[in-house]
Structure 1
């Protein structure tokens, strides 16, 4: 039985990448050493990290005046690192509260004594819509923080807010490389790798050159300028995670790049949303204009029915569709490596489950 993994992260990976990892494990590039053993100071790894940066720059159409930095610590670390590096003029940032991860970013920034003003929130709507930025006072904030895709709540920005000169910082973890954005509109982007870019343990930071090096005496592990000067190798980087990301980036190029991934993600999510919108049992709670292409929450409103569905889905090879505890119900994560056939099988299963349920109720 084919298993389709709908986990929100760590998430499904391309089969071709997993096969390449398997082949490289005993002896990477005929070195006699596993890829898990090679030194981060070796020529072997220099090529791995340099190629990954080159491929990522090409995929994102990233200008030369942006740095690509490889970090550990997840985006949670970057929720502190970004204000430490960038909030150096006003010591105050603006934030759009679109859900759990925006609130986490707010809390972490406040821990490093940066003021955070929430300019809009949809908490009262249970985050089923995106907050709308109505006014952004100029010469007051070092940047505006947004979460481009809300993994838990299932919302995503298709159009970025207009900042009128204030820097835009995006937590892009769960739709990084799965949706097209004009990267030049961001001063900084952060993204955990374990959704669309590989395995847990690696976080990408993309930051414009003029925004770094403005703050002295930062802790080394959050100093963007230091990491830029050291090619992300101030300390031992997550070698295996960077190697894996490099393979995924090459796979993405072979598939046609980010625009092609967006087309496929629109197709996959559209198939599922169309079913949910015509269902009498399932509800997709997110406002249609704000729906994510990669994370689709849905509910029945009946916890016992949800639990039965999740168990039966797993028995049919559809695993990890249980919704986040903050939302409940179910969630299907449709990252780049999830094939269309997996979504077709999920929709077929949901359709049969609904028919069986209606036949007994």
Structure 2
């Protein structure tokens, strides 16, 4: 698939990656490979609004353009025409969806770029932790087939540092967090979610170490976060250490920074899990046996998976014991648990 401008000679490069937080995280090694292949080019990324700030914080792109997640046909065509007028030499479609295919179609013809893209678009639906139709392995194969060198490595967010970016709200202190804390990342699907009082039991075990539970996730989890906070207060009493509710308050870049500073995470199936794991944070995943856990972001990490058909069967005592055995809270060895190595 090598062609004119495919390697370092390209002056302007386009990358399309709009599909979800998990998919974006899994594509991080591909982003670096594209930047290495075109060191002197201006590289533009088209992504979703929720991913724009995280993408801007990365060292891989010169410009980040955010679009609405759902675009009408006429809107896609006009957007594709606008991109065509920019005059890209090479373009990478790392989504492989009908939306990205429509954008590609609008950019065909005179002055159109050389495309590195899947032959067939896919719009398959997927479960919360199941891989997307065009996930990490498919992206890696696409780039290798194009002749672009790609390092075989895990996604990593070591380039994200709030201090280096000079942004005050890219620091835990922006949310009033000044001491040790851990992230609670509840499942997106209520049927796959660990009970609120179970999270509260873990919070009580953390209280003796002066560690604050921080609940993160989408705004829709606000009621559940309140339930966790109430149950925690009932268990610990008025002198207890309360949880902090950041559901719907932290964007992807802020969540990545929080993850880098957190002692550990306790998470269910959700998009945010993959970002937290890619930050290198150790932790425990609570997942129903019906869910597929395959993900580039999870392998090789200090992460332990606890699985059961019924989430209530995964007792909080088991979670606390696992965290102790991993050396993440007191009472256990620091042997770690590389369930995905």
Sort the TM-score into its range (normalised by shorter chain): under 0.3
Q: TM-score, normalised by structure 1?
A: 0.25
Using CA pairs below 8 Å that are at least 6 residues apart, which structure has the higher relative contact order? 1
Instruction: Please give the TM-score of this superposition, normalised by the length of structure 2.
Output: 0.26
